[in-house]
Chain A
């Protein structure tokens, strides 16, 4: 390997790519490609029609341009919308049938798929480019009636559930990237927790973009039936490539009466190199519907990767007494840009939402919190608490807070607090004097700054996230 590449690998340790034979849809976006995807996935007609409807709508939609980070025009005709390992034409029935190269890839990523080495008490669904390659711990979950599989499998085996809820939170006509996803989505995870079942383990999906010039459009749907509980974690990485790669996922959550969904993300897509070349465009739509009374949806995100992050995990608080939460850490270094936040839509009575956002900016990066608290006419006694803190490292980066509040109910209560601080040279000197080097010092201070959010992560991932926080900021102070 050339020295330069080695140097790069040190910076982003997931930056390798796997040399594997793939089946691809023809390049470009058109009805034929959508039909190709639908056909290869043996989808029912209603779903193909649904996709085509989305595509028709897409043709009249425009990409949003109100967000702060601008990016060069994406040529949608120059992308592959489907890429799958060749060995996958028929999905392997068991892990033994998996291409060893794939197993190797996941091993390198630290995600053991093989039975005996599986993460302790965490069920994993792994998505490689466009398809789900393995779901672990299936039997144990089936005992409780829990469905955890790829969305493609759910379309075959649980069509009624999929048909009922797919697009019920993010309509196919929503906005450009969501609609694009509806037209061309390839795989993702599906979760259904039956009534009064508490999912006994963390469910986790691991996304990996491998093929070049390929977009990843995954679709995740989680349904928590009455009185159930589930905690779900999503992780992601991609190889380092000089071109920008598009990732436009849709995630829909539905919580019925008294149900709770906890959705955590540790996003570590390739952020581009030091000079801002390459990296993932992470344009993601995530929305949760608290459909039933007393339901709760909690989003926790640790966003450290991607060249541009553009996402607003949101909650629609429809059921009375429902609760929405958003805990976020967004770290941008070098030339990364993030425009992220949430939307809390209060419709039911006594609905509550809480927003804790921690933005960290270093190098030449730019970090924006953008949020909307929307309190409807009937949302009597609703409450929101928002806290947005920004931390700057160095003086060439930027941080912005854009909170919108729309309150149509005089009996609602909305609170907003915001702070901006900087890591001072004096603080660093103090830490150095106590034996910490620059990187350890920054990591300690930043982890302290984000503590409230890190605490929300499932234990198994909190430690990893803490390390990631440190790694993402390496080299941020001279």
Chain B
């Protein structure tokens, strides 16, 4: 699915990633942990196509050279990033944004675009499954949303789009216990042979619900250690110092 080979990235000559390699196969769930500032969000941003980095290395996504694809093309091909800090866009209605996004992706796949009614039916169903208050759909996108509401809105979008490769950047940070379960539920509901996840988190708790196949530690710009759930438990006890 996703094959990252020897990826290095600099921003303003400052080196952030330094020869990172990681391979994610279809159906696998990988978790990445690591200290603040270690480059987790940078990795997520580069994979989704954000500009402004000085990049070397190779990343292939479903047999495409990822760096040859525009941001939206990556999205069309099933790459999704749940942002650590979802953006506020004043004036843009949340429901309309979700619909425009879903239809852009459907169109790229040659699927029929949904009309307002069809979309409403689907979004209402998904929102209720995720216990998200429908009212946020009629508000301006992320404007004045609480931290938790913003994160839940990202999960709602993920469940609408049903991506093949979803990257969740600290979607669990700042969530209450119930919301945390909702995020886990959103991920677990999508899990399947063809879908992969890369979950960036600081806490073992989310992983308890999701049970990833692999856990990695990102330090000094590369994967410093890989393991299974036990690694997350160990980190929770001892921190990053011993790695």
Contact = CB atoms under 8 A, between A and B. Distances in A.
Q: Do A and B bind each other?
A: yes
B114 to A, nearest CB: 13
User: Chain A, interface size: which category?
Assistant: 20 to 34
A29 B161 CA distance: 64
Interface in B74-115: 74-76, 80-81, 83, 86-87, 89-93, 96-97, 100-102, 104-105, 108
B105 A435 contact: yes
Contacts of B87: 424, 426-427, 429-430
Contacts of B86: 430
Contact of A421 (B51, B80, B83, B90): B90
A433 B49 CA distance: 8
A194 B83 CA distance: 59
B198 to A, nearest CB: 14
Interface string A403-440: 00000000000000000010011110111111111001
Contacts of A147: none
Contact of B100 (A429, A432, A444, A450): A444
Main secondary structure of the interface of A (DSSP, over half): helix
B100 A436 contact: yes
A362 to B, nearest CB: 17
A368 B100 CA distance: 31
B93 A448 contact: yes
A430 B83 contact: yes
B43 to A, nearest CB: 15
B163 to A, nearest CB: 10
Given A427-B89, A430-B89, A448 B140 contact: yes
Nearest to A391: B91
Given A429-B50, A444-B100, A448-B140, A435 B90 contact: no
Contacts of B65: none
B157 A434 contact: yes
A387 B50 CA distance: 35
Nearest to A419: B90
A448 to B, nearest CB: 3
A445 interface: yes
Most buried by A among B70, B87, B89, B141: B89
A449 interface: yes
Contacts, number: 78
B62 interface: no
A431 B100 CA distance: 10
A432 B72 CA distance: 5
B97 A435 contact: no
B71 interface: yes
Interface in B46-82: 48-51, 70-72, 74-76, 80-81
B91 A435 contact: no
Contact of B101 (A421, A424, A434): A434
Contact of B75 (A435, A444, A448): A435
Interface in B153-169: 157, 161
Interface in A127-144: none
Contacts of A429: 48-51, 71, 87
Most buried by A among B74, B101, B140: B101
Nearest to B103: A435
Given A430-B87, A449-B91, A436 B50 contact: no
B92 A434 contact: no
A436 B90 contact: no
Contacts of A434: 75, 97, 101, 104-105, 157, 161
Top-8 shortest CB links A-B? A448-B91, A448-B92, A432-B71, A434-B101, A435-B104, A430-B87, A435-B75, A435-B105
20 contacts: A424-B87, A425-B51, A426-B87, A427-B89, A429-B49, A430-B89, A433-B72, A434-B75, A435-B75, A436-B100, A436-B104, A437-B104, A440-B100, A440-B104, A445-B89, A448-B91, A448-B93, A449-B90, A449-B91, A451-B91
Given A430-B87, A433-B74, A434-B104, 17 more contacts: A425-B51, A427-B87, A429-B49, A431-B89, A432-B49, A433-B49, A433-B81, A434-B75, A434-B105, A435-B104, A436-B72, A437-B104, A444-B100, A448-B92, A449-B91, A451-B91, A451-B93
Interface of B: 48-51, 70-72, 74-76, 80-81, 83, 86-87, 89-93, 96-97, 100-102, 104-105, 108, 140-141, 157, 161
